[in-house]
Structure 1
Amino acid sequence: MLFTDLKLIKPILDALITEGYTQPTPIQEKAIPSILQGRDLLGTAQTGTGKTAAFAIPILQNLAEKNSRNNNIKVLVLTPTRELAIQIEESFNAYGRNLNLRNLVVFGGVKQAAQEKALRRGVDILVATPGRLLDFISQRIVSLQNLEVFVLDEADRMLDMGFVHDVKRIIKLLPPKRQTLFFSATFPDEISKLANSMLSNPVKVEVAPVSATADTINQKVYFVDKDDKLELLTHILQNDIKESVLVFSRTKHGADKIARKLQSHKISAEAIHGNKSQNQRQNALSNFKNGKTRILVATDIAARGIDIDELKYVLNFELSDVSETYVHRIGRTGRAGAEGSSISFVDGLDLANLKNTEKLIGKKIPVEKDHPFHTDNLVAQKRDSNNKSFTPRPRVQSRETTGSKKPNNKSNFTRNR
């Protein structure tokens, strides 16, 4: 199927051609016709499936065909993070470049004056994070009384970030007669209840559930001692990978530490996380997109919404305790059928997370042994044994105090056992 088969109007088709789009992804193919018909929709889709275009394109077409000229907010897209909100607004701008519609994104962490001024001029499509939207509503700058379409994006992440109560407050302010589009990668009980309370006879679209990883992503695990991870990362970036890499860190402090280490080796790197100001985060993301910064080190929440065309490499400095996060992380590469690679560093403390991740995705991730910091096979044997977990004994002495270097292909797990 081609986009020309979806009964889209010429201004949107022309915009899609400009973007280089010809063939819709599965979720776009399934969702666009139903949304054009005004149906409520319940969508299950992982990162990188083209979800934003799946709702943005038909929303733009429906608004354009109504040709309603007033200053009312007609569409609200609610999303958990600033980065994702900005990405969504950029998509509306791209697909609607040939339409006379006004889009705006609002989020916290910056002064509200510019956003307020734009709101008072009138907006057709508003993309917002919950906190800033509630601020504007309480100040009577925003009214949702004339809303026609409500999109709740990344509902499960809303739950993870503690925004569900804010979302429920916003929902109470919406007109009962509206079209609702609800997207979530996973559906824990609270999210399922929320969806059931919001939707009316929805079309259900499920594409690539969270347990699936794209076949186009070449996944590898590097077994490495915890204290050697920074050295291994530096080695890989200096010798094996010359392209841009998105590196995931479990903590904000860890992200900063990784970026500083790479900078000390003359590798351009920046960190992006919740403690950074909005300007810092946007500058880092912009530098990464345009190639000025080669390595972007991100925490999971800050990275949600990062959409980089043709990103070839994602690297997990640590595995997350939440197995589904692995799928979201590596979904930043291998998008829309393109090839990509993911690398995951695993030490003894990560073994349980690796086991759970492999159980979720339904396959073993190949181990890459051809690097100077590979541990011996004991780690892999422990992973495949019947033991539920494996915690290595503490070291007798740290190399940070002795200054000695770790011999190649030796395992500290072996030494200390």
Structure 2
Amino acid sequence: MSFSALGLAPSLAQAAHSSGLMAPTAVQQQAIEVVLQGRDLLACAPTGSGKTAAYVLPLLQAWMLGEAQRLHGPRQAQALILVPTRELAAQVAELIYVLGEASGRRPKVAVLTGGVSINPQLMALRGGADMVIATPGRLLDVVAHSRLQLKNIRTLVLDEADRLMDQGFADELGQVLALLPGTQARQTLLLSATFAPSVQALAAGWLRADHARVMIEPSLQQDADIMQRAIYIDSGRRTALLHDLAVQHAGQRMLVFVASRYSAEHVANKLYDRKINATAFHGDLSQGARRQVLDEFKNSQWQVLITTDLAARGIHVDSLPLVVNYDLPRSPADYIHRIGRTGRAGQSGLAISFVTPASQAHWRLIARRNALEIALETLPQYPVTEPAPARQPHEDGDRGGIKGRRMSKKDKLRAAAAQARTQGDGGSGTR
């Protein structure tokens, strides 16, 4: 099937092809026609399956049709794309830019995210914008400081909707929705790689009754492009094994996930001291530093990037061959997001998870929840000597070493700020 067969204008179909999108993916085949019809959408598809293009292409087509009818004067935003991270906002904006440029007509896009000064973003909004890409907190700040109006929004997109709908963003998201036209007066698109049943039930209340559901099998176990391994190892010997992997895969980039910002710096420093070109990437870095580190990694200036779950969603790195879970993700669903950074766009990839005696029960939970059948390996050069701890009851009835859903420090700050606002003390949430 071609993009033009989905109802896209010839210029956009050609733009997709010239931008490297040779044929629509499964989620694009099902979603693009729905969006072009003006229907609401709930789409769940694996990372790397093309969800962003599935809504960007029809949004561009709607803008092109409306632009021909627009009279002279300030632009009024017709589409609002909400995302949970600055990195995803930049990636969506880049795709809009590339496809718009290739089609010969590029909309004015405002990117509103925290971590940088608000003043340049306010300046960029002079004369209006056709599309707004924003994190919820910064969007509210901009609305409070400028004349940005959301009453004309025709299409609302929640990219990584499950993350936006969790407790950390709930208060800010509710405030944004209150500024938009009602459910019946707008088109709403919710997209993510994972949707818990509880989130799906909540999302249904935000969608019109005739909304479409697109569910692409999220399990990566049958995906031949990603080979998955699980290695049983003592906690204290993980850095040595990571060093060995970096040597074995010399010349290939590695994305390594750890549990905390401190661990990212600590492990990166340990590897760097042992002549491995490694650096850390986490939320304590300034926006400029985060952008620089990510660009340097994409350009292969760093072999190993040690990161928190900040890089688990929305970040695309071309031809990333290896992902390592140095620490297992807290939520079983985040396993899918993490390893989905490799094996993208039809390329092969390898995902390795380190399983310690303390995390073995949690690994079993991750495997069960994601229908994984991965043998737990023990390497002869790294015999396991640490005793397994006494098993503790898991919060949802399963037995695991780590809770499946634990609030991060940032989420706790957001929740505290929301409570402060409710009590009327004027507090502000983390952006």
TM-score, length of structure 1 as denominator length? 0.86
1:180 equivalent to 2:184? Answer: no
Is contact 1:352–1:390 with CA below 8 Å preserved after alignment?
yes
Q: CA deviation at 1:211?
A: 7.6
Equivalents in 2 of 1:277, 1:50: separation in Å? 29
Equivalents in 2 of 1:73, 1:24: separation in Å? 27
Give 1:75-154 correspondences, 5 Å limit: 75-97=79-101, 98-154=104-160
Equivalents in 1 of 2:231, 2:202: separation in Å? 40
Secondary structure at the residue paired with 2:143? helix
Counterpart AA for 1:7: G
Equivalents in 2 of 1:95, 1:12: separation in Å? 7
Is contact 2:256–2:304 with CA below 8 Å preserved after alignment?
yes
1:272 equivalent to 2:276? Answer: no
Report the counterpart of residue 384 of structure 2 in structure 1.
375
Report the counterpart of residue 238 of structure 1 in structure 2.
247
Give the unaligned 5+ runs of structure 2.
392-397, 403-431
Q: CA deviation at 1:389?
A: 6.3
Q: CA deviation at 1:277?
A: 1.0
Q: CA deviation at 1:11?
A: 2.4
Is contact 1:78–1:151 with CA below 8 Å preserved after alignment?
yes
Q: CA deviation at 1:371?
A: 6.0
Report the counterpart of residue 334 of structure 2 in structure 1.
325
Secondary structure at the residue paired with 1:121? coil
Is contact 1:85–1:128 with CA below 8 Å preserved after alignment?
yes
Report the counterpart of residue 400 of structure 1 in structure 2.
none
Equivalents in 1 of 2:327, 2:211: separation in Å? 38
Root-mean-square deviation (CA), in Å?
2.4
Is contact 1:27–1:54 with CA below 8 Å preserved after alignment?
yes
Aligned residue pairs total: 385
1:225 equivalent to 2:234? Answer: yes
Deviates more, 1:180-189 or 1:31-40: 180-189
Equivalents in 1 of 2:226, 2:12: separation in Å? 31
Report the counterpart of residue 15 of structure 1 in structure 2.
15
Give 1:21-32 correspondences, 5 Å limit: 21-32=21-32
Seen in structure 2, the aligned counterparts of structure 1 residues 213 and 263 have a Cα distance that, compared at 3 Å, is farther
Equivalents in 2 of 1:348, 1:85: separation in Å? 38
Equivalents in 2 of 1:62, 1:48: separation in Å? 24
Equivalents in 2 of 1:239, 1:212: separation in Å? 25
Equivalents in 2 of 1:223, 1:274: separation in Å? 29
Is contact 2:97–2:106 with CA below 8 Å preserved after alignment?
no
Equivalents in 2 of 1:31, 1:154: separation in Å? 16
Seen in structure 2, the aligned counterparts of structure 1 residues 316 and 161 have a Cα distance that, compared at 3 Å, is farther
Equivalents in 2 of 1:75, 1:95: separation in Å? 16
Equivalents in 1 of 2:63, 2:284: separation in Å? 38
Residues 88-128 of structure 1 show CA distances to partners (whole Å, capped at 9, x for unaligned) of 11111111112141122110110012111111132101100
| Overall identity of the aligned pairs, in % | 36
Deviates more, 1:251-260 or 1:42-51: 42-51
Report the counterpart of residue 407 of structure 2 in structure 1.
none
Q: CA deviation at 1:230?
A: 0.6
Give the unaligned 5+ runs of structure 1.
392-417
Select which of 69, 75, 94 maps to 1:71: 75
1:204 equivalent to 2:213? Answer: yes
Deviates more, 1:205-214 or 1:333-342: 205-214
Equivalents in 1 of 2:87, 2:229: separation in Å? 28
TM-score, length of structure 2 as denominator length? 0.84
Secondary structure at the residue paired with 2:151? coil
Equivalents in 1 of 2:207, 2:145: separation in Å? 26
Equivalents in 1 of 2:106, 2:372: separation in Å? 49
Deviates more, 1:299-308 or 1:317-326: 299-308
Equivalents in 2 of 1:148, 1:390: separation in Å? 45
Q: CA deviation at 1:302?
A: 4.3
Equivalents in 2 of 1:371, 1:288: separation in Å? 32
1:288 equivalent to 2:297? Answer: yes
Q: CA deviation at 1:10?
A: 2.7
Q: CA deviation at 1:266?
A: 2.1
Report the counterpart of residue 272 of structure 2 in structure 1.
263
Equivalents in 1 of 2:400, 2:154: separation in Å? 51
Counterpart AA for 2:112: V
Equivalents in 2 of 1:92, 1:299: separation in Å? 27
